[in-house]
Amino acid sequence: MAQITAQMVKDLREMTGAGMMDCKAALGETSGNVDAAVDWLRKKGLSKAAKKADRVAAEGLIGVAVKGTKGVVVEVNSETDFVARNDLFQGLVKMIADVALDVGADLEKIKAAKVGSKTVADAITETVAKVGENMTLRRAAEIKVGQGAVGSYVHNAVIDGLGKMGVLVGLESTGKADELAALGRQLAMHVASANPLAVDPSGLDPAIVTREKDVLADKFKAQGKPANMIEKIVESGIRTFYKEVCLLEQPFIFDDKKSVTQALKEAEGKVGGPIKITGFVRFKLGEGVEKQESDFAAEVAAASGVTKPN
């Protein structure tokens, strides 16, 4: 029987995106023949897909698609970053984003939508079987404007429209579409960098504002400030807080001497009309998902029966 090394397992995993133990088993069953091992993994297919559903999927890709006055962003998760480099997975995420552009951001509608003779849910299941890792369509969102443009930006892009972070910004305006699109991209880059919580103070969760006021009040009470002074200090502090978390009040990353509101006002002359930001969406890969930490070298060694050196 051919000796199965850690490097062989690692190489097969990079080629197929399949799980570590699956790669070891495939090489064992095919006497170390890599091409035959790839085929063995593919033939296992759907019989193993269901077993992967309980594994943590916190890697993957964010997909962004924009057409005219509508844009969508989706997050499709996998177990490892290897899969994000797999052509099959990238094609799946691209297809899901395109479907969402047609049917909207409701996850069940996206999964039920048909692409050719199969549903998106079927396509996900088949890709799980071929690649060998759990995958989930975790979330989706859309931005639409009546007239204007939807700006987009993908951070750490692996290919066009796919990356580790995706942002959409809606711009309502009667101005020039090409100028709006360029401005929209800058604003989307700003959102990616500055991570605002809302467009303006009216869009903030009241609970967040209350909590911030309580923190400020308690801080100055502890310093022995009188009640009438604390109230004024808290109001001043809240205005500063708004500048930190509200998009329109943040310093514009392309010129931090002016706010986003001021930058918009200046852009109106070039665009040829008033501009209103109607909303934004910012998806960062894996945010809110508890990831499993692992020692990759030890995992490879354990899977191939090789002891990791100290």
pLDDT, one tens digit for every residue, the chain (310 residues): 578 888 888 877 767 667 778 888 888 888 888 878 877 776 665 234 434 444 445 689 999 999 989 999 999 998 888 888 899 999 999 999 999 999 999 999 999 999 989 999 999 999 988 888 889 999 999 999 999 999 999 999 999 999 999 999 999 999 998 999 999 999 999 999 999 999 999 999 999 999 889 888 888 888 888 888 888 889 999 999 999 999 999 999 999 999 999 999 999 999 999 999 999 999 999 887 655 444 445 555 554 454 444 4
pTM value?
0.74
Shared domain for 85 and 123, answered yes or no, is yes
CATH number at residue 46: 1.10.8.10
Shared domain for 68 and 177, answered yes or no, is yes
| CA pair distance 114, 111, nearest whole angstrom | 8
The reply to whether 46 falls in a domain is yes
The reply to whether 204 falls in a domain is no
The reply to whether 35 falls in a domain is yes
Give the HSE-up count for residue 55: Cα atoms under 13 Å, Cβ half-sphere.
Answer: 17
The reply to whether 224 falls in a domain is no
The reply to whether 44 falls in a domain is yes
130 by Cβ neighbours in 10 Å (0-12 / 13-18 / 19+) ranks as: buried
CATH number at residue 103: 3.30.479.20
Tokens of 141: 């969102």
Shared domain for 21 and 67, answered yes or no, is no
Shared domain for 31 and 94, answered yes or no, is no
CB atoms within 10 A of CB 248: 19
For the sheet containing 70-78, what is the strand order? 135-144, 70-78, 59-67, 162-163
Domain count, the chain: 2
The SS3 of residue 46 is helix
Shared domain for 92 and 190, answered yes or no, is yes
Shared domain for 175 and 90, answered yes or no, is yes
Shared domain for 68 and 176, answered yes or no, is yes
Shared domain for 85 and 33, answered yes or no, is no
The reply to whether 231 falls in a domain is no
The reply to whether 210 falls in a domain is no
Shared domain for 169 and 48, answered yes or no, is no
| CA pair distance 131, 193, nearest whole angstrom | 33
Range of the domain at 63: 59-198+277-284
The reply to whether 300 falls in a domain is yes
Could you tell me which residues are beta bridge partners of residue 7? Answer: none
